[in-house]
């Protein structure tokens, strides 16, 4: 979860100065992640170079790219913790919404938890002195929806590391296209490149590999609950790394959004 939160911390740190432009950050992150994941996959005895693309598909790669590029552009105008909280809220909303659409019928405590979380999210992004930039918040919401769809598409994968590697590799051409579109706005520094590479290779590549390694040993509820820590860890990272304050809006938003989602998750687990 520290690795996942660090993706937000590194993106915000790189784009706050800015040390790099968002399109280049996305490209470097995806390419670095693809390289690291490919190396991890090749290190497995049963894997070879020809297997690298075998687990990916273009649709999943598109949603991976959509998540990464909108996150990069969103962090131009969002604090680290607020961005991670919006991202998390929309990921959960997308996945829960799809479950309801497919016929799952939540019970009253689940609806109550979702209502609390949704109301807190609306309050978080509503106009006010501490409100986040509306357009940046919108982009981060799109990023959360994209990651939710990407996660739904990856459910049931028999080899998630292989699938993730293939999707990262297929997303590389898409990032090159977006960098070409924003070529006139390119802004590169050694510091920005290093942050992008760290986000791709370490907190994305290695982070996903660790997550997929431990996930089978967690129950569905444990896996969901532990992810509630990501926005809080990201907020702490923004405080330490970028000097961002813990605003009242962020603290209260975190309590009610994460608390509401936790109530829904626990209630669903008991129902099932």
- The per-residue pLDDT for range 123-173, each reduced to its tens digit, is 887 766 567 889 999 999 999 999 989 988 887 777 888 889 999 999 999
pLDDT at 185 over 70: yes
Q: What is the mean pLDDT of residues 92-101?
A: 83
- pLDDT score recorded for residue 130: 66
Cα–Cα dist 81/100, whole Å: 28
Cα–Cα dist 70/26, whole Å: 9
- Average confidence score pLDDT of the chain: 86
C-alpha dihedral (160, 162, 163, 166), degrees to nearest 10: 160
> Using an 8 Å Cβ cutoff, are 134 and 21 in contact?
no
Q: What is the mean pLDDT of residues 10-29?
A: 93
- The pair of three-digit structure tokens given for residue 221, joined into one six-digit string: 């509820």
- pLDDT score recorded for residue 188: 93
Q: What is the mean pLDDT of residues 85-107?
A: 84
15 against 122, higher pLDDT: 15
pLDDT at 103 over 90: no
User: By mean pLDDT, which of 22-36, 46-60, 195-209 is the weakest?
Assistant: 46-60
Q: What is the pTM of this model?
A: 0.87
- pLDDT score recorded for residue 129: 55
- pLDDT score recorded for residue 152: 85
């Amino acid at each position: 979860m520290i690795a996942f939160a660090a993706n937000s911390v590194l993106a915000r740190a790189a784009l706050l100065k800015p040390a790099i432009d968002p399109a280049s950050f996305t490209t470097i992150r995806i390419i670095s992640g693809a390289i690291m994941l490919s190396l991890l996959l090749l290190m497995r005895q049963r894997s070879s170079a020809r297997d690298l693309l075998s687990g990916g598909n273009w649709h999943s790669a598109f949603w991976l790219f959509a998540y990464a590029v909108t996150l990069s552009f969103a962090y131009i105008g969002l604090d680290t913790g607020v961005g991670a909280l919006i991202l998390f809220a929309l990921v959960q909303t997308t996945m829960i919404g799809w479950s309801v659409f497919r016929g799952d019928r939540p019970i009253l405590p689940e609806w109550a938890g979702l209502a609390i979380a949704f109301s807190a999210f609306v309050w978080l992004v509503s106009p006010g002195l501490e409100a986040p930039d509306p357009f940046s918040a919108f982009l981060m919401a799109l990023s959360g929806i994209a990651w939710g769809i990407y996660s739904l598409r990856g459910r049931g994968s028999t080899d998630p590391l292989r699938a993730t590697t293939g999707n990262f590799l297929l997303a590389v051409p898409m990032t090159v296209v977006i960098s070409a579109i924003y070529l006139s706005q390119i802004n590169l520094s050694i510091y920005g490149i290093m942050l992008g590479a760290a986000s791709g290779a370490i907190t994305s590549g290695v982070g996903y590999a660790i997550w997929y390694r431990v996930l089978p040993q967690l129950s569905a509820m444990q896996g969901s609950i532990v992810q509630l820590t990501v926005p809080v860890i990201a907020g702490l990272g923004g405080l330490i790394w970028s000097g961002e304050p813990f605003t009242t809006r962020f603290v209260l938003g975190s309590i009610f959004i994460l608390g509401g989602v936790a109530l829904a998750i626990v209630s669903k687990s008991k129902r099932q």
